[in-house]
Structure 1
């Protein structure tokens, strides 16, 4: 017998749920969610069964201090419902107040402006280190659209779903489900041979216990990265993604990341792209919140480039776009 259970989440201000939802909408993982107005739903496998979590803004709520209602449906016990709620507390960064990070950022004029502009933006985390690793492996060396197609095909192949109010919600597969697949099944869905092997072999290691992801919790960043990169198909970039988005480590510095290096060059007006070592030296004042500084700089650079691209649209192109929009309005 399944049960339903509701929770009320009150993250410390500032907290912008709309930033989180926009991030979901623009992510290559958006296929995992059902998205509504100030509402998100997603299924998870809890205790071997699919469970649906639905979140909405409750009242009273303000943009910087929302009250979030979390409803769990299909859980087989109170404990399983609590487990689903805990997953979302992690994904939504509910228990990670931003004020200490903002106080640290306030010592640098550039970072003070960026954090002010993006105030309330929290890390969007994956539901588990396993999910994060699989998603990162799939995303290696392919564009976002192709990555999303591969991810979606894997989820639909394993076909764990729950039907609620006439809608079907697919859950990200468990290690055991992916471990039961063969390489040819993924090759038929346009996975490369190596990517198919990396995904299935990793899942088999987690399923049989030879890969212990729970042990990562007790490791330092360096120890966890060293553990992960020994596994086939996982390089430093993937390992850093797992620590940042899977475990939610606040102090991870992906110093070799091109996006971070470009952001530092852009916002501090450097005459060259900083090297990995220069990034490490530059980021010494960020200690303790390196993940947040990185996340904010990635976001701010994306927004700056989008604005710059918009400004470079020629007057002729603007007129053409306006004409096209007017014609569509008539249809």
Structure 2
């Protein structure tokens, strides 16, 4: 498994902690964040199609089942596998359809992941969201977890919105516009900020008020 790792020795992280005291407290408390990468573009997209509208835990369970049963998750294998066989691993009929549409697009060379490496985020999102079943969030997860783009803010990601609400003691979940305002100084490294926000959830920090969870870090 390949990871993108960030810690307090990273110049980008040092820049981020200078922009905001609350973010600084969170980053200093967590220390190191990491993102598990899936360089194979097709596998990455299948994984996040699987993960649409379910928990991370449920996604990982189904994804590991797919990898165990089918071995190498390739476009040819997914396209040729029967719908009932894919349904048996826990996929909904819609997600099976989406995976098969993606697989067919790759097999027929309408989607070229090597070509994507030279495209802008916006160009890639436009190409991917033209396929049925791939929305903005799924395309953004590909940008982050396959291409390792550091400037991706997924404004529709519920975990990011909930963590910002927790950090700043907001009464309501921030809207997409409100979320973008918080990220104004972080746009270039929005992915890095997101990695710390996601980790705060996985560490269980959000189960307590921010000041209590990050006690002793900062003012």
Alignment TM class, shorter chain as reference? 0.7 to 0.9
1:26-41 equivalent positions in 2, closer than 5 A:
none
2:14 aligned to which of 87, 90, 102: 102
Distance in 2, Cα, partners of 1:108 & 1:181? 50
More contact order relative to length (CA 8 Å, sep ≥ 6): 2
Superimposed CA distance per residue, residues 66-98 of structure 1 (whole angstroms, 9 cap, x where no aligned partner): xxxxxxxxxxxxxxxxxxxxxx5xx22379983
Which 4+ stretches in 1 moved above 6 angstroms? 94-97
1:289 aligned to which of 148, 165, 189: 189
Distance in 1, Cα, partners of 2:187 & 2:141? 18
The alignment status of 1:156 with 2:156, answered yes or no, reads no
Distance in 2, Cα, partners of 1:275 & 1:115? 23
Q: Tell me the residue number matched to 1:208.
A: 108
Q: 1:207 to 1:191 in 2, by over 3 A?
A: same
Distance in 2, Cα, partners of 1:184 & 1:204? 18
Question: Displacement of 1:259 after TM fit?
Answer: 1.6
CA contact under 8 A between 1:158 and 1:173: conserved in structure 2?
A: yes
Q: Does 145-154 or 277-286 show the bigger shift?
A: 145-154
The alignment status of 1:92 with 2:3, answered yes or no, reads yes
| TM value normalised by structure 1 | 0.57
Q: Tell me the residue number matched to 2:217.
A: none
Q: Tell me the residue number matched to 1:272.
A: 172
Superimposed CA distance per residue, residues 111-147 of structure 1 (whole angstroms, 9 cap, x where no aligned partner): 1111112223232222322111000011112344543
The alignment status of 1:113 with 2:25, answered yes or no, reads yes
1:126-141 equivalent positions in 2, closer than 5 A:
126-141=38-53
The alignment status of 1:304 with 2:202, answered yes or no, reads no
Superimposed CA distance per residue, residues 42-81 of structure 1 (whole angstroms, 9 cap, x where no aligned partner): xxxxxxxxxxxxxxxxxxxxxxxxxxxxxxxxxxxxxxxx
Richer in helix (by share): 2
The alignment status of 1:253 with 2:165, answered yes or no, reads no
The alignment status of 1:191 with 2:103, answered yes or no, reads no
| TM value normalised by structure 2 | 0.83
Q: 1:156 to 1:252 in 2, by over 3 A?
A: same
Q: How many residue pairs end up in the alignment? A: 208
| Larger-gyration structure (1/2) | 1
Q: Does 257-266 or 131-140 show the bigger shift?
A: 257-266
2:34 aligned to which of 122, 129, 132: 122
